[in-house]
Amino acid sequence: MIPDCPLGQKMTRGTQFIGRWKLNRAMNCAPTWILGANKQFWIIGLNPRVGAQFIARSASHRTPPKGYQNHPLLNCVPTGGLSCNGLSGIHTTLSPLRARKQHGFVLMLTLWVLVIVALAAGYFAESVTRSIELAQQSRLNTRAMIDMAGTRAEILYRLGTTSVTEQGLGRGSAAINLDNRTYRGLGDTLLNVQDSRGLLNLNIPDDDRLQRLLGLLGIPASQRGHLNDTLRDFTDADNLHRLNGAEKEEYLALNLPPPINRNLITPWEARRIIGWRDAPQLWQSGRLVELTTTGASIGLNPNTAPAGVLATLPGVTEEIAQAIIARRKFSPIMNAGQLAEIIGIPAQILEDFIAVLPSNSIRITQSTKGLPWAIQYNIMLTPNGNEGPWRTDYYSRVNTAQRNETQTQIPELPPRSTAPFENVPLF
């Protein structure tokens, strides 16, 4: 005889059954009769692995079975008049403890899935937002670079087609001043045009003026002669050692590249010179690069020189330099005598190096909104050259200067015009 199936738990009215099962040969125990309400139930199998009770229900028999024999479907044959064909179905119900454990596991799994989905969605949303921001910034940068290229083309066209005068590039209200004042170009581009003759030339230094400039930049008097001599030793073609200078041996002793023995191409090359490289006050503020040039210009143009360069002239204080700038705003200085009168010195002192017309070397600085850097390049005008009407001596990125004025306060480039050529020298 096959033993009775374990009862497990008492089945009462209202017990909920879930799932639906077919009879199979794996059920190897006999049904046990359990009375229900208007119905009769048999436990016909117990699966210990899942803790489920298999319940068979019969609606056609009211008396409990008295014995069982093997049956092809149940592995048992009901006796006492009960037929296996009278079973209407098989149902399952989980034990309460097992159900609680499975429900808790499903809940935790669901929460973890939700957390992972939320994190993935947040990461995806952040990535999309960042990609959109980068795309927008890239579009703005591209637009800015196009505007800067257009502004560069415009100013080069002006330099190649417009005559220079004491007022700058052109005449009257249409003149572009070459004293490094700011103009608005295409889009948000800002443009500064500086005549190299208004700057101190490091390749053709005047010892007295250079030492005055170094003093204005914070170099002690005891070090100025050393910086003057090392500059000359660095750029001259010989290996003669000046009193306070430095030649190849001193550079090699410090594991530095030897002197270039040629003219500087850009003012930044002076940072390789012994003494100059060790003076942070020359480089931190950017004033040295702002006030000097390496272009092929001779003399000083008082109409385009900034106050720091004017202050290197004999007898010029900071107040006198500002007075010269105020004077030239109303009318350009036409000769060394007018400048000497403002300074209060004999004209003969200034006649040898004062030139009131711009040179053919122009420094241009362009910046634009949104870019953390500006571009600076030096143009040498070559109207009779074989390669073109101009050449670029150098082209570099520089730090953007802090501006106090707003974009609307900055004037636009004047409209194109050509000054009369009669009796006006080109340079």
User: pLDDT tens for residues 358-372?
Assistant: 999 999 999 988 788
What average pLDDT does the segment 394-407 reach?
A: 74
Per-residue model confidence (pLDDT) at position 333? 93
Round to whole Å and give the CA distance between 211 and 217: 10
Query: Taking 60 as the threshold, does the pLDDT of residue 96 lie above it?
Result: no
Looking up tokens 């660095």 gives 234
HSE-CB for 265 with a 13 A CA cutoff: 7
Per-residue model confidence (pLDDT) at position 101? 54
Query: Taking 80 as the threshold, does the pLDDT of residue 418 lie above it?
Result: no
Quick count: other Cβ atoms within 10 Å of Cβ 179? 19
Round to whole Å and give the CA distance between 136 and 427: 45
User: pLDDT tens for residues 310-337?
Assistant: 999 999 999 999 999 999 988 899 999 9
Name the token pair of 362. 């122009």
3-state secondary structure of 329: helix
What average pLDDT does the segment 338-355 reach?
A: 91
Query: Taking 80 as the threshold, does the pLDDT of residue 198 lie above it?
Result: yes
DSSP structural state of residue 269: G
Per-residue model confidence (pLDDT) at position 402? 60
What average pLDDT does the segment 42-46 reach?
A: 42
Encoded amino acid at 335, one letter:
N
Cβ-contact 214, 224 below 8 angstroms: yes
Query: Taking 70 as the threshold, does the pLDDT of residue 141 lie above it?
Result: yes
Taking 3-state DSSP, the helix, strand and coil percentages for the chain, each rounded to the nearest 5, stand at 35, 20, 45
Name the token pair of 315. 């007898």
157-409: CATH homologous superfamily?
EpsJ-like (1.10.40.60)
Per-residue model confidence (pLDDT) at position 403? 58
Per-residue model confidence (pLDDT) at position 63? 45
Query: Taking 90 as the threshold, does the pLDDT of residue 55 lie above it?
Result: no
Query: Ranked by mean pLDDT, which of 25-34, 67-76, 117-126 comes out on top?
Result: 117-126
Cβ-contact 332, 360 below 8 angstroms: no
Name the token pair of 314. 């004999």
Nearest alpha-carbon partner for 360 in 380, 342, 385, 344: 380
Cβ-contact 155, 374 below 8 angstroms: no
Per-residue model confidence (pLDDT) at position 212? 94
Round to whole Å and give the CA distance between 168 and 258: 40
Predicted confidence band of residue 170 (pLDDT cuts 50, 70, 90): confident
Query: Taking 80 as the threshold, does the pLDDT of residue 154 lie above it?
Result: yes
What average pLDDT does the segment 80-105 reach?
A: 45
3-state secondary structure of 73: coil
Per-residue model confidence (pLDDT) at position 106? 78
